[in-house]
Structure 1
């Protein structure tokens, strides 16, 4: 009888996973219809016809809003487990209520730090959405514009 070590089990799982993936992709390639049309070959831009190049100006405030969103999502990730543990009456009874007081103070400190961060971002004006005026580029390329027509 052959005995498989822990590394052998991991190797078998890796081989099985890769084999499953390859078989699934092969079955999909064999079964899917192959009817390309010019409409299917175009770039998808949220239902709109693509126009211009991809080098358009992008408002940097999108990134700031995304970072602030992630900050408050992280807050929720930490507050949900706290709420479930804080609501456990048996745990609070075992510690004579000290656990509840400690966790409540700790959570207020955590939320307070986040509110200080929010106040800082607000005071710096990072939450105000000001539309920037588009600026044209004065860059002169050495490549003629007709050369780009091949790539459209």
Structure 2
């Protein structure tokens, strides 16, 4: 049996009172007892009544509760509000169960470390790789270490 929500006993009493006030004077004693126990059983199980097109299926309710023909007509007229209230209550209880639990309070974490600043003269081998080693650049590049190849200007009209 599902665990009852805190509002279940309150709602149970409301349906009991509704049955005493509205159904007891209108139904025969056996029909009243059967329908009342059926409604209270739905609350305890937190189940909706059988539905047909989104509304209570009165033929199935009448067969389950063993209602007489006159009792079914009266129950349909007088008990409609109770069944609709049970359907709303069960839907709200299911939504409350499905709601996510509150997030736990965040644990104090140390301040995020700043990204390491690369020392001057260091560069990565490849600009788009994350896991390549860092190599040291030469200390100073001068014109003497750089080799340039000089080309003579081409003369117009000469193939070569």
* TM-score after normalising by structure 1: 0.28
- Larger helix proportion of the pair: 1
- Larger strand proportion of the pair: 2
* TM-score after normalising by structure 2: 0.27
Larger radius of gyration: 2
